[in-house]
Structure 1
Amino acid sequence: MYELRRERYADIWEVEALFDLCFAPGREALSSYRLRDGVAPVADLSLVARDPHGILAGAVRYWPVRVGDAPALLLGPIAVHPTRQGEGLGGLLIEESLGRAADWDRVMLVGDAPYYSRFGFRRLDGVEMPPPTNPDRVLGREIVSGSWKDVTGLVRRWSA
């Protein structure tokens, strides 16, 4: 059993350490991180999962971006501690956080389609992440039905 709650200021460095553990060195050099520079994550959707002993088991963050002129959520990073992987915690974090995203129409991410398709994510044609990003890994999910229709263009920082 996990306690899922909003990430707090006191969680930041522990969450960053989890991301460092779960992702390759240089993760912050990825193009998705350029979209996050100087932009605060969406606090209501950025969650942590702690076990009954208070130990951080997983975390997810979301960032506002623009696709062309349309607002969207960028899901990621999401990580589950290696000792907790395979328990369904990643899926729980995704579904819980998306269930809280009622103020948004659409969400996107860069990831593996076979994993994320089970949460309703599909390849986004015409949506361009800054290079270098494999277009086959640019995935989206509608929060509001039809919200990705006619949304195309370059993904830009929220403040841009």
Structure 2
Amino acid sequence: MPSVDRLDITDYYITYMDKATQYGRVFEHFDEDGDGRISAKELRQCVEAIGGELTEEEAEAAMEYLDADGDGLVGFEDFVRFVEGGKEEEKVKDLKEAFKMYEMEGSGCITPKSLSRMLGRLGQSRSIDECQVMISRFDLNGDGVLTFDEFKVMML
């Protein structure tokens, strides 16, 4: 029977490979001439194929934004970085929403009292002392509360 660690690694590998395969398929769809790079023209054609509009200037601006090596084309690595970056922004947005639930009335930080209150609402009753210990594990500046940046480190 495989160990838990081996299963976790296998699950991660399968997930990663599925994601890479999916990204590859989308990238190949954009890369109409099959040269391994997406041009501004190819980007415009794909956007138009799905019913959108992209001017030549907008396509060139997108190329500049996405192109890491400055060759005027978007390679697979640039494409993946763009797709993954969007997911990172989504994660941060979700974390900000979660943070607001735990923070103390707009104070910009999670206090032991606000953490205790929120955990109680979630059915996980904890004393303020227990919450102080929980916070201290991720309280990078030692001020006894969690800022959003500290919360983000804890959650990611």
For this structure pair, what is the TM-score category when the shorter chain's length is used for normalisation? under 0.3
- TM-score with structure 2 length normalisation? 0.21
- TM-score with structure 1 length normalisation? 0.21
The structure whose residues are more often strand, as a share, is 1
The structure whose residues are more often helix, as a share, is 2
| Structure with more relative contact order (C-alpha pairs < 8 Å, separation 6 or more) | 1
